[in-house]
Amino acid sequence: MSSIGKLMKQAARMQQQMEQVQAQLALRTVEATSGGGAVKVTAKCDGTIASIKIDPQALNPADAQLVEDMILTAANQALGQAKEISTAEMGKVTSGLSLPGFG
């Protein structure tokens, strides 16, 4: 088989594996908290936020800015964890690929 044919088969196999990993990542979640647990954010490893939970005791109107900051912190931490997992899982799929001029 020509090297182009082998490369095409390898690329098709890799695309299928990447689609499977992406589907699995969409189901996988991570959680992050801030404010001593007052805010909990759950993110999916496909880069989306699945849920945000706020302890009702943290909802003092005078502390709105503080709660907003806690939400932002927890959301960014959860998305960061999700991205790390996604990058690692996708890297497993592409680790065997060697294309001339790439890497």
pLDDT digits (tens, 9 = 90+) for 81-94: 988 988 888 888 77
pLDDT digits (tens, 9 = 90+) for 4-61: 888 888 888 888 888 888 888 888 899 999 989 999 999 998 888 999 999 988 888 8
Which domains can be identified in the chain, with CATH numbers? 3-94 (3.30.1310.10)
- CB within 8 A of 40, min separation 6: which ones? 31, 32, 33, 52, 53, 74
| pTM (predicted TM-score) | 0.66
- CB within 8 A of 7, min separation 6: which ones? 99
At residue 75, the pLDDT reads 92
User: Average pLDDT for residues 58-79, to the nearest whole number?
Assistant: 89
